[in-house]
């Protein structure tokens, strides 16, 4: 977190200096959007939303999309004002707003505001083909990455482990970039990752070793999914990843973009307007964004809409 602050200060100093050098020039307002690991899709959201803002909003903003530690980190960093916007799973959005799971002790994040939803994310269990892992039950005794503290997937992995009543798993807490590398290097036999498809975090190991995607679809999982509004069962189509020529059933969430009630309405309005007026450009920026459409992008949000986002949706007649 300290690193974030230092970067924010450093970049605003640079802006002040360059603005001073050009007389009469107005300093661009900084916007920082936090994503996830560089191999995931959140980072692509942060990067490409910022690209659109920097391209289409004149010199009003200097938007920077940064890699970050994932959903839980992003929500907490948005609350603390270290990030203007963060990408977070819809289940975490709901839990933070309601003071559940990671926020049970800390309490509700009252400042949390929704902006829009992005791509769907699947709860993936990726194993080395030579590990003998063919089902969730086979994880017993294996070295398995469940995600770094601060990631969204860590909570999903823990739910799956609990629901399958798995014992004796040697859980690791690596960040995803390292986890993909460790799978290739045989340091772990499997990892959990909740991510949009296709993701470089799975493509990298799939392209250099034989992997298996494991179904997460027991009756107990289906019951759990149907009892939570933010989960749905889904199927990852065959051949989404090299060597995985079969469909895989698991459950899914949505990636949501969140902010704080303290971020000015104009800033949020400008970002939202830019995204929706140039949605075609965003859709072309990454394969996971191809299915984005305004109707779905207003679903899966638990925390109330930020006033700046609501203003734009009302103007478009998308809400009353």
- In this complex, which beta carbon is closest to ligand GLU, that of residue 12 or of residue 98? 98
Closest distance to ligand GLU from the beta carbon of 12 (Å): 26
Give CA–CA dist 94/8, Å, rounded: 28
Chain mean position to CA 95? 15
Asked if residues 267 and 260 have their Cβ atoms less than 8 Å apart, the reply is no
- In this complex, which beta carbon is closest to ligand GLU, that of residue 28 or of residue 275? 275
Q: Which residues, including other chains, have CB under 8 Å from residue 276's CB and lie 6 or more apart?
A: 294, 312, 316
Closest distance to ligand GLU from the beta carbon of 14 (Å): 27
Closest distance to ligand GLU from the beta carbon of 13 (Å): 29
* CA angle (40 as vertex; 135, 45 as ends), nearest 5: 135
Identify the three-state secondary structure at position 75. helix
Query: Would you tell me which residues interact with ligand GLU (CB under 6 A)?
Result: 36-37, 40-42, 70-71, 89, 121, 151-153, 194-196
Closest distance to ligand GLU from the beta carbon of 151 (Å): 4
Closest distance to ligand GLU from the beta carbon of 274 (Å): 21
- In this complex, which beta carbon is closest to ligand GLU, that of residue 27 or of residue 285? 285
150: nearest Cα among 217, 214, 225, 83? 83
- In this complex, which beta carbon is closest to ligand GLU, that of residue 29 or of residue 121? 121
- In this complex, which beta carbon is closest to ligand GLU, that of residue 65 or of residue 308? 65
Q: Which residues, including other chains, have CB under 8 Å from residue 297's CB and lie 6 or more apart?
A: 116, 117, 118
């Amino acid at each position: 977190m300290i690193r974030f602050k230092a970067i924010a200060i450093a970049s605003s100093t640079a802006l002040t200096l360059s603005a001073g050098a050009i007389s009469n020039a107005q300093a661009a307002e900084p916007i920082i959007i936090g994503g996830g690991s560089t191999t995931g899709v959140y980072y692509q959201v942060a990067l490409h939303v910022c690209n659109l803002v920097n391209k289409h909003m004149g010199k009003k903003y200097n938007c920077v999309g940064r890699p970050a530690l994932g959903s839980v980190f992003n929500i907490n960093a948005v609350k603390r004002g270290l990030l203007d916007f963060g990408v977070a799973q819809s289940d975490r959005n709901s839990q933070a707003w309601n003071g559940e799971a990671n926020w049970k002790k800390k309490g509700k994040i009252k400042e949390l505001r929704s902006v829009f939803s992005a791509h769907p994310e699947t709860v993936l269990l990726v194993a080395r083909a030579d590990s003998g892992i063919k089902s969730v039950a086979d994880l017993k005794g294996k070295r398995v990455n469940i995600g770094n503290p601060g990631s969204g997937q860590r909570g999903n992995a823990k739910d799956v482990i609990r629901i399958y009543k798995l014992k004796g798993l040697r859980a690791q807490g690596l960040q995803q970039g390292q986890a993909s590398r460790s799978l290739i290097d045989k340091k772990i036999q499997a990892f959990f990752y909740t991510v949009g498809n296709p993701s470089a975090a799975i493509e990298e190991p799939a392209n250099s070793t034989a992997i298996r995607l494991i179904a997460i679809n027991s009756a107990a999982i289906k019951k759990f999914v149907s009892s939570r509004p933010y989960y749905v069962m889904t199927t990852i189509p065959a051949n989404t990843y090299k060597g995985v020529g079969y469909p895989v059933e698991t459950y899914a969430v949505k990636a949501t973009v969140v902010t704080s009630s303290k971020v000015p309405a104009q800033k949020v309005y400008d970002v939202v307007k830019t995204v929706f007026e140039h949605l075609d450009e965003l859709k072309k920026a990454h394969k996971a964004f191809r299915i984005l459409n305004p109707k779905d992008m207003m679903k899966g949000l638990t925390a109330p809409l930020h006033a700046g986002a609501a203003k734009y949706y009302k103007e478009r007649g998308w809400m009353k």
